[in-house]
Amino acid sequence: MGEYLLVRGGRPLEGAARVPAAKNSVLPLLAAALLCEGESFFTQVPRLADVQQSLVILSALGCEYQWRGRGLAVRRCAEAPGVLPEGPARAMRSSVFYLAPAIHRCGRVRMPMPGGCKLGPRPIDIHLDGLDKMGARVDWRGETLTVSAPWGLTGADYTLRLPSVGATETLLMAAVLAKGETVLRGAAMEPEVVDLAAFLQRCGARIEGAGSPMIRVQGVRELRGAVHTPIPDRIVAATLAAAAASAGGWVRIQNCQIEALAPTLEILRRAGCRVEPAANAVTVRRVGWLRGVGRVYTGVYPAFSTDAAPVVAAALLTAAGRSAVEDTVFENRFACAEGFNALGAKTARAGRALEIEGVRALGPARVEAKDLRGGAALVVAALAAQGETKVYGVEHIRRGYGDLAGTLANLGAQVRLCQE
């Protein structure tokens, strides 16, 4: 017994959809609110499962929150012992974002190993090594991590061994209230890093170079909460673009950053879609059959995003010829391959790549999401399948999409949430 999405495929899409605020920006932004005096207010926040888990963590760390329409206010109002609740911390990878804020506010933080999608090894050694260089003491005992800095953090010149987005954001939050100057070399350049820096600057932080490989931060004594609109979700935008390519028809994607979406749009253009950009919007149109694109690779920004890889692969299942999508970031990105093949696709996993031989048509099946982006990819694939497909594992999809079924239904798809 459980929830599933019922997808009746074979219907082209038509219409416009507005992209919500980016999950991958909102989650570190909520953690950063813990650094601030007074109220922080974030507009257009999607009500995702991971957002709700973040609010449980904030409450445990002494914060109050209030939904105001589609905006979310957060205020730190009480002292707390710096212990993250086990359920939410284990449920999502982004619980790691509370390391630095909790150290600044509580002097220490204790948490279990962060959870999230099982995409292969996702170590947090860079986060911890950077914090160690800034004066924190790191103590692992079994599955429990304790990080303490009772006398505060001190700025450091630190080189990340790889441009991890999460580690860059963790160390950026550590640096803004640390004593002296911090220089982060080899930093991630993703838009979400830039967005976090923009919020912190509104709050009074002194940051230079966000969006480049070197970020320089002068620590300040205090941050004050601010109003901030997070950037649009480029992965939701990529999902909508891939849905248009899979189902046929057209979708106008509103409130999106074209530059951040460019690698996905280029792959779909190569596959035969018409891509029509406008100011803060783009229309993706599929007329006729798609064609294979050869081998494409994910990479760190500004390359093709690992999170967009499964939904783009789903769109290529019925493209004539061969395609391959290789993820250079995670080992187990394509757990959705089993579901693709149940729908009648011809795919094979080869190391970190998904090899695709396009088929003329997909058929109905019962499939199960194993992770967030793979779940969305199964829905995208089901849009091209004849008959009724049941997509289970809806709890994974909810972590990153507020109402994927409703969004697609508004575009003409026959998708609805059902209960067994």
Using 50, 70 and 90 to split pLDDT, how confident is the model at 77? confident
For 184-188, what is the mean pLDDT? 98
Q: What is the total count of domains within the chain?
A: 2
Q: What is the dihedral of CA 166, 169, 171, 174, to 10 degrees?
A: -130
Least confident of 106-115, 118-127, 192-201, 205-214: 118-127
Looking at the fold, whether 15 and 30 belong to one and the same domain comes out as no
Residues 27 and 51 in one domain: yes
Same domain, 259 and 192: no
228-274 confidence digits (pLDDT tens) = 999 999 999 999 999 999 999 999 999 999 999 999 999 999 999 99
| Whether residue 117 has pLDDT greater than 70 | no
**What is the arithmetic mean of pLDDT over 108-113?**
92
Tell me: do 277 and 372 sit in the same domain. yes
- Give the CATH number for residue 120: 3.65.10.10
The pLDDT tens digits for 393-404 are: 999 999 999 999
Active site residue 117: yes
Please compute the mean of the pLDDT values over residues 316-333 and round it to a whole number: 96
Confidence tier at 420 by pLDDT (50, 70, 90): confident
Please tell me the distance from the alpha carbon of residue 250 to that of residue 239, in angstroms, as a whole number: 13
Residues 43 and 155 in one domain: yes
**Mean pLDDT, rounded, of the chain:** 95
Return the pLDDT at 115.
66
**Candidates 36, 63, 117, 273; catalytic one:** 117
Task: Among 228, 243, 276, identify where a domain stops.
Answer: 228
Q: 223 and 201: one domain?
A: yes
- What is the residue range of 258's domain? 3-20+233-419
102 plus 206 within the same structural domain: yes
- Is pLDDT above 90 for 81? no
* 116 band by pLDDT with thresholds 50, 70 and 90: low
Do 408 and 280 lie in one domain? The reply is yes
206, 228, 250: which is the final residue of a domain?
Answer: 228
- The pTM of this model reads 0.96
Choose one of 183, 212, 228: the last residue of a domain: 228
Please indicate, yes or no, whether residues 40 and 11 belong to a single structural domain of this protein: no
Chain centroid, CA 286 distance in Å? 26
Residues 264 and 339 in one domain: yes
